[in-house]
Chains A and B, each alone.
Chain A
Amino acid sequence: MMDPPPYRLCRNAFGRLECTGTDGEVHEGVVPVRAFPITAPEHGIALVDPHGRELAWIDQLSDLPDDFRILVETELARREFMPEIRRIVSVSSFATPSTWEVQTDRGSAHLILKGEEDIRRLTAPALLIADSHGIHYLIRDRHALDQQSRRFLDRFL
């Protein structure tokens, strides 16, 4: 365990995170931001004030005392939305724009793929799919999908 951090965190009545620095200044509406949300989500999290200024840097979530860690984790969970595609149930057409019915870790959803270029290749084998409303769907390992999903996906890659 590391030294306790030199700031204090708590949640106020409006559900916002508050961060109190060493000088006693209170920042309301602090948000945790992951530096590498896809490749290294657990490493490098910044606490940022509403003006986008960095207040504190957390190398690793596990460095934090439990109560702070839980606060940060719940706040992250409230902000982060990157459904992970588990299965592609159907696609309306192989030409874009195409509507996909997918099953994700957050339930089933429809997404509209505007063009093939909205499928971004991350470090293999991960893919990131941006739908027409800008929601990013993650495919962590495209080889791990079932055969039908892989076949659908292959038509767009």
Chain B
Amino acid sequence: MALAEDERLLAWLAIDLDASLRFAPGMIIVTSERLLAMSADDTQWQAWNYRRGLTLARRDHAGVGTLELCDASSLLGHWRYTLGSDVAAGRLVDHFARQLSFRLTGEIPAVSALALCPNCETPLLAGQEECPVCSKEIHEPPSTWTLLRLGRFARPYRGQLLAGFLLSLLTTAATLVAPYLTMPLMDNVLIPYQNGKAIDPGLVALYLSGLLGSSLVAWVLGWGRTYILALVSERIGADLRTTTYEHLLKLSQEYFGGKRTGDLMARIGSETDRINIFISLHLLDFATDVLMIVMTTAILVSIDPWLAAVTLLPLPIIAWLIHVVRERLRTGFERVDRVWAEVTNVLADTIPGIRVVKAFAQEQREAARFRAANAHNLDVNDRVNKVWSLFSPTVTLLTELGLLIVWAFGIWQIAKDQITVGVLTAFLAYISRFYLRLDSMSRIVSVTQKAAAGAKRIFDILDHVSSVPEPINPVHLPSVSGRIELRSVGFRYGTRSVTRDISIVIEPGEMVGLVGHSGSGKSTLVNLISRFYDVTEGAILIDGVDVRSIPVAEYRKNIGLVLQEPFLFFGTIAENIAYGRPTATRCEIIAAARAAHAHEFILRLPHGYDSLVGERGQALSGGERQRISIARALLIDPPILILDEATSSVDTTTEKEIQKALDNLVRGRTTIAIAHRLSTLRDANRLVVLDRGRIVEAGSHDELMAREGHYYRLYQAQARNVDTEDQLHTLRVDPKDEGDRE
């Protein structure tokens, strides 16, 4: 395809699907003169020159984006691509629209003044060089030598580890004295006695005390070694656990949404413990074994090189066997881990939902689910054990064969008078220990793999970068007035585009009500403002500063959040109220409780403010819990307050109580309130009506009623006492009456 002489290329998009949604490459180009396209279905470029009425629109559904080129009367062309190129598509559409408008009016629309990321066009913040959206996409697998990464946690204990290693060395050396003494004991005492010479008691006492001495030394040294290393490994495990947990707490809502509680608990609990045991027991044993083998080899070679060579012959075979089994066992053990997480997941699912299980009498079903998970667990374990069970006996067999070779070769050499009986006895004593160690060394294969699998699962957490990243050059806001601005905010959960192009400015002290059908994106908007998620398009600014450039914790301190389902931690009521500001005095706590209309019911509890609540604690009603969570929000005295259906789960009388509490809370703060009952939002300065992720109307109650639009219909529906939710969700099965809906 040839461009005209002064035609310039403005933007292009490589598409990866054809019209029938098969993977096939194609290209769409916006030039200064026209739009060019060639998909896999075309044999040559198609071109459309700019003219009035042309529009290029972008839509997406289920991971596939569509570009549609239309004129006033019909569809001219459409192209499909996977969402990986969505940003490029957005840029293409933008360039097209600007160039078209330039062609028609001769004016170029202003470009937004914000600095944009060259990759994805996310607005960059002051002082930000790297785009927060692009840099968080890491697709690199973690390194396979995961266990070595544990070194980071071992570094603080270098000294103790070195001491432990030296002690290991000495212990091993001490244990090797005993077999060595069997040689003179045999040759100088026992054999001469058989040949008619009397036993020399002094000599025997010397050898035996040597045996006793070496055992005692080995005992003391071994004790010290084990103690020091157990101490160290316990600390490494604890460090690992806390570091992982701390990191986990910093991860965004998105991460927790995608993980199951049981799985995360297993990782932080049992995986760290497994690594701990690996370091304190298995790794230690292994190091000792290697030392033992090296030393034994040295001793054997010094006594008799030929016999030593024969003795060590099976070693490479066993090493090879270990290597072969290693791969199969590793995958097997990884699978065992995952299956184990599956079993705990069933528990984590069922136990919190036990009321539902019992209410629907589904105990049997849940038991069956657990049994099925267990059966799967058994199945996977059986498969691993099939390989594993063959492994140890094979090693034992090989050691027996090795001993047999030593016997045979030794007897032959004695017959040729090349070695004494004592030498053979010493060799046999060494070799049986030696092979014993090889056998236990072979266990290191499985435990190393298990520990590596565990380490990988922990580093999966540690390597996860929060999708709500901390700013690199943070901006600090000394005091927040509470002006919130949303600039064409768009957000998607995965591929589901939930909100699009939302722009609102909320002035300090203003109360804004968000209304709309359930699922219209109200909570999503609140999640974005609270920075539980970061926007995928546009920006949210507080007092004119992008929220992404403020440290997350510092930012959230300015927000009081009251949710539909208040969560109380295990602890006293006072502690729960003071959760956001643990330093609050008793007076402050009581003042907050009073303002939240919680004071009186708290006093009615047997232990007042010291009553325990939360799981296993005092049972509180929904309205009571809600008022405690309101007191919690009041206590931190935030400039911004967010109420997400704070009164939806309670009856009307309780709602009145809560409403009174909320009136205290709202005073003088920027407030964003979502309420199911529209009547609760009467006080709002402004109502913003959302529908399917877009703002459809905004204004005061009276204005919106006068307009007779979306809000009017919502309000009418509630006034008629019809539950809007139910109406929405009723599935009309009968196609006959499909015409008469409102």
Q: Is the pair B692, A22 in contact by a Cβ cutoff of 8 Å?
A: no
Measured in the bound complex, the distance between the Cα atoms of B735 and A52 in whole Å is: 16
Tally A residues with Cβ within 8 Å of B: 52
A14 and B74 contacting across the interface, CB-CB below 8 Å: yes
Contacts A81-B62, A135-B63; is A107 near B24 (CB within 8 Å)? yes
Q: Is the CB of B141 within 8 A of A95?
A: yes
> Quick check: B22 and A55 within 8 Å, CB to CB?
no
Task: Give chain B residues whose Cβ lies under 8 Å from the Cβ of A92.
Answer: 141
Among B61, B496, B738: residue with most chain A CB under 10 A: B738
Q: How far is the CA of A12 from the CA of B144 in the complex (A)?
A: 56
Complex: how many Å from CA A1 to CA B429? Answer: 90
Please give, as numbers and ranges, the residues of chain A lying within 8 Å of B496 by CB-CB distance. 134
CB distance from B6 to the nearest CB of A (A): 33
When chains A and B are docked, how far (Å) is the Cα of A71 from the Cα of B690? 33
Query: Which residues on A sit within 8 Å (CB–CB) of B23?
Result: 83, 104, 106-109
Q: Which residues of B contact A56 (CB under 8 A)?
A: 735, 738
- CB nearest neighbor in B for A151: B331
Partner of A7, one of B260, B263, B738: B738
Residues from chain B with Cβ under 8 Å of A132 in the complex: 137, 139
* B91 lies within 8 A of chain A by Cβ: no
Check A117 for interface membership: any CB of B closer than 8 A.
yes
Name A112's contact: one of B24, B139, B738 (CB within 8 Å). Answer: B139
B740 at the interface (CB under 8 A from A): yes
Chain A residue contacts of B83, Cβ below 8 A: 133-135
Q: Is B632 an interface residue (CB 8 A)?
A: no
Cβ of B736 under 8 Å from chain A: yes
Which of B62, B731, B738 contacts A55, CB < 8 Å? B738
- Contact A134 to B63, CB < 8 A, known contacts A116-B338, A157-B335: yes
| A93 CB within 8 Å of chain B | yes
Please indicate the chain B residues that have their CB under 8 angstroms from the CB of A109 in the complex. Answer: 16, 23
- Smallest CB–CB gap between B557 and chain A, Å? 31
B691 nearest CB neighbor, chain A only: A51
A95 and B456 contacting across the interface, CB-CB below 8 Å: yes
Considering the complex, which residues of chain B in the window 116-165 have a beta carbon less than 8 Å from any beta carbon of chain A? 137-142, 144
Instruction: Give every chain A residue within 8 A of B338 (Cβ-Cβ).
Output: 116, 157
Contact, CB under 8 Å: A21 / B495:
no
User: Across the two chains, which residue of chain B brings its CB closest to A31?
Assistant: B61
A10 CB to closest chain B CB (Å) equals 14
| Residue A87 CB within 8 A of the other chain | no
Q: A residues 1-29 with Cβ under 8 Å of B?
A: 5-7, 13-15, 21-23, 25
Complex interface: chain A residues within 8 A of B263 (CB): 117
Nearest neighbor of A102 in chain B, beta-carbon distance: B23
A75-119 residues with Cβ-Cβ distance < 8 A to B are 77-83, 92-99, 104, 106-109, 112, 114-117
Chosen A-B contacts, 22 in total, with CB atoms closer than 8 Å, are A5-B735, A14-B68, A21-B739, A22-B738, A54-B731, A57-B731, A57-B735, A80-B21, A82-B62, A95-B456, A97-B141, A99-B139, A106-B23, A107-B24, A112-B139, A132-B137, A133-B82, A133-B83, A134-B83, A135-B62, A136-B62, A154-B331
Interface residues of B (CB under 8 A from A): 16-17, 20-24, 61-64, 68, 70, 73-75, 78, 82-84, 137-142, 144, 258-260, 263, 331, 334-335, 338, 456, 460, 494-496, 691-692, 731-736, 738-741
Q: A15-B68, A93-B141 are in contact. List 14 more A-B contacts (CB 8 A).
A: A13-B75, A53-B741, A55-B738, A57-B732, A57-B734, A79-B61, A82-B62, A83-B23, A104-B23, A106-B23, A108-B23, A132-B137, A133-B63, A134-B83
Q: Which residues of A line the B interface, CB within 8 A?
A: 5-7, 13-15, 21-23, 25, 51-58, 77-83, 92-99, 104, 106-109, 112, 114-117, 130, 132-136, 154-155, 157
